[in-house]
Amino acid sequence: MSRIGKLPIKVPSNVQVEVKKQTIHVSGPHGKTFRKISDLISVEFSDNKILVTKVDNTRIANQLYGLTRTLINNMVIGVSEKFENILQLQGVGYRAQVKDGNLILNLGYSHPVLISIPQGIEIKVEKNVVLIITGFDKELVGQLAATIRHKRPPEPYKGKGILYKGEIIKRKVGKSGK
């Protein structure tokens, strides 16, 4: 039995939750979102708490139990506080800027890399090399950060590339010059 699934989800006073059959709608000051829930899981909302329970005691229901609770918890946290991911550009001439709903990255290629910013996501650029990605959907924020990082992953010899904040790149020794 899932230890995570048993825990009730506390809902802040500024967040509204509505459960309709197998769909849960969550809205708050930063946005609104919804998610369909499997028939093997039931969700109840009362007294500013959300309880997730299993309908069956099958293997698939056990797998979905903790997952569903975590996804709903991420929805509640996202619409009340927002999620944040910070990326750093490291390398000579690496720059970023936001223009007309697009992120423009200069990463040492012969052309600038253009990434369109999805709706519900905000990107701030500080000092031309620090990207702050915020949004209410944790999955979308993480996926956009991974997509940006994929354009120039950090390399182990000089440490150049796009890194997550606080990430340490294990450096390799280059060729020995004789």
**Residuewise pLDDT in 10s, the chain (178 residues):** 568 888 899 999 999 999 998 899 999 999 899 999 999 999 999 888 999 999 988 999 988 988 999 999 999 999 999 999 999 999 898 999 999 999 999 998 999 999 999 998 999 999 999 999 999 999 999 999 999 999 999 999 988 999 999 888 898 988 876 6
Class of domain 3-81: alpha beta
Whether the domain at 3-81 and the domain at 83-164 fall into the same CATH topology: yes
pTM of the model: 0.87
Residue 131 in contact with residue 86, Cβ under 8 Å?
yes
Asked if 142 contacts 85 with a C-beta cutoff of 8 angstroms, the reply is: yes
In the chain, what are the domain boundaries?
3-81, 83-164
Q: Which residue, chain included where needed, has tokens 């010059």?
A: 177
Domain 83-164 fold is Outer Surface Protein A; domain 3 (3.90.930)
Which residues are CB-contacts of 6 (< 8 A; sequence separation ≥ 6)? none
